[in-house]
Amino acid sequence: MKRIATTFSTLLLAMAWLVTSTMPAQAQSFTTEWEFSTAEGNLPSYFSTSNATRAIAYGVVDDGSGNLVERVLVASGPPYEIRILDASDGTDLGTLDGIGSLPTPNDGRTITDVEISDDGIIIACNEVNSTFGNNTATESFQCYRWDSLTDATPETVINYTVPDNTPNNGSSEGDYVGRQFTVVGSASDNSMTLLVAAIDTGASFVYRFTTSDNGQSFTAEAIERTGRPPSGNINGVAPIAPGASPFILNAINAAPTLYQSDGTEDTEEQGAVDPVTHTLKYFEVNGKQWITTFRWDTTGENQYAELVDISSGLDQAFPYGGGVTTPNFGRANGEGNTNGTGDVAVRVNNDNTATIYVLATNNGVGAYTTDSALPVELANFDARRSGDGVSLTWRTLSETNNQRFEIERAIDGGSFAKIGQRAGQGTTTEPTRYSFLDRAIPFGAETIDYRLRQVDVDGGESLSDVVTIRLSADRLQLLGSAPNPVKSTGEIRYTLPEQANVRVALYDVLGREVRVLDQGARAARQHSVSLDASGLSSGVYFIRLEAMGQTRTTRVSVIQ
């Protein structure tokens, strides 16, 4: 992906870090790249007034001849289709083949959303178990894969019978899912991850799908969100990173909320995001964190995208330009949007801007680019836990001859070592902010110290104060084997929030205990135990952790 540079705040003096006064931020707005809408009088024929055109995706894909091209995909129907648009000007290039042969659920739609992975794989999914239907039989959530724009026979890669985790919705069907989903990562390195949230009123489950065979099939995980679940039958969910990572859920009339990977509620947004929004896209650029959402109302008066910086945390979100949005599709009395559906996609550019692709059901589609680097006005050097990593943020108010920042880390009181760097801004009086995500946290570490080494263009250096993160085992957790699969030996890792008697055992696929790996009283901290794979046959095994009256299970593969 291309990168959006940060524009926050930077103050560096020769030998000290000082904070003076906040510099005024440059005004921000959006430039229209292209738009096809009721407002412009050029609404495409595949739009209708029946709330049928609902989703948009952007990505770099194979055109069928091995050429990589930038395309925007629009999901519409019935009749169900995915339109292919040139990302540069919105030209309609036809439809994606194979959708006409896909089954249509009794309670739902053949497809309602489409996404593109980081390595150009196209995924479209159906909508099933709609509470607006009358069928009581659970139907499978199905997702289909295209490897290029000319694939005629999409491959079914997800066929999942959704459980009924919302028994109070008046239906015995499985959860209502599929109106919108999000894909991150790549099939080529098995990082591709798909998240979809249940959309019944009061639903509290998110379903995570991950792959181990390069996106040919996926394993499902049902994640219950703790705390009060947002209501409404339209929402958006976006992971912070591929795999088992924290995720943000945004639903109508509920603030976007960050959840840890296991569904534990973390942070609630405090008002920078309009409450009448739903779909959600999350992206990071140069360590900065952003979300964009779709704002709507049924009259058609408000149909646009919002862009919000969450680099300092979701509870300290700051809207782009103080509340600047993409142009309003409803500005010329556009068609009503009774379902309130719509979608957004993001392209990050080399010139430190971002292009937001917006689809407003019944009203149109367009591309809008920020006119400058995305700003945030903050003032601190801070470290905080972010999933399994540590997020560092720092800022200054002006910058003189600054070549770079080097990020240094010390583990458990040891020596500092460089773990990364960020380019400086040279000389500027504009606010600038920087961030860095340390994903490689050593297992078993108890304290981590961080500092910044600022290096001038002439070689001069100065050090920031040290910030410290104290790691603790705050819940019972089984982290599985490293590596996985195991060829000779692996390390099974688990955490205890309190002292407890522990039993860790290995089981085969038939549920037979193969061996006990660890047993006895253990202290409240992170633990690891060795798995010797010699004597084990190749195949899948299960690790079971029993402690504190609870059980945790994970899978490990052995290759001989």
Report the C-alpha gap between 251 and 249 in whole angstroms. Answer: 7
72 beta partners: 58, 85
Burial class (CB in 10 A: 0-12, 13-18, 19+), 5: middle
Whether 30-375 shares its CATH topology with 377-470 is answered no
CATH of domain 30-375: 2.120.10.30
HSE value, Cβ hemisphere, 13 Å, CA-based, for 199: 25
CATH class assigned to 477-558: mainly beta
Q: Answer positive or negative: Cα dihedral of 357, 236, 185, 161.
A: negative
Q: Answer positive or negative: Cα dihedral of 9, 14, 20, 21.
A: negative
- What is the predicted pLDDT for the residue at 272? 87
pLDDT in tens, 250-271: 998 889 999 999 999 999 998 8
Can you spell out the DSSP letters for 159-201? EEE-----GGGS--SPP-B-SSEEEES-TTTT--EEEEE--ST
> Across the beta sheet with 235-239, what order do the strands follow?
235-239, 247-251, 254-259, 265-268
Contacts of residues 90-95 at CB distance under 8 Å and 24 or more positions apart, as own/partner, are 90/33, 90/34, 90/35, 90/36, 90/365, 90/366, 90/367, 92/44, 92/46
Number of other residues whose CB lies within 10 A of the CB of residue 132:
8
Report the C-alpha gap between 334 and 328 in whole angstroms. Answer: 10
Report the C-alpha gap between 77 and 105 in whole angstroms. Answer: 14
- What is the predicted pLDDT for the residue at 197? 94
Question: What are the extents of the domains in the chain?
Answer: 30-375, 377-470, 477-558
Are the CB atoms for 83 and 74 separated by under 8 Å?
yes
Query: In degrees rounded to 5, what are phi and psi of residue 383?
Result: -130, 135
The one-letter code for the residue type at 59 is G
User: Could you tell me the pTM of the whole model?
Assistant: 0.65
**374-375/6-7 β-pairing:** parallel
Over 461-519, what HEC string results? EEECCCEEEECCCCCCEEEEEECCCECCEEEEEEECCCCEEEEEEEEECCCCEEEEEEE
CATH class assigned to 377-470: mainly beta
**142, 130, 152: which is closest to 198 by C-alpha?**
130
- What is the predicted pLDDT for the residue at 538? 87
Q: Mean pLDDT for each consecutive 10-residue tract of the chain (560 residues)?
A: 26 24 46 92 83 92 95 93 97 96 92 96 95 81 97 97 77 87 95 93 89 97 87 86 95 90 92 89 77 86 89 82 83 69 91 87 92 48 78 74 86 90 78 84 80 78 77 72 83 85 88 89 84 87 89 84
Are the CB atoms for 158 and 218 separated by under 8 Å?
yes
pLDDT in tens, 92-108: 999 999 999 999 999 88
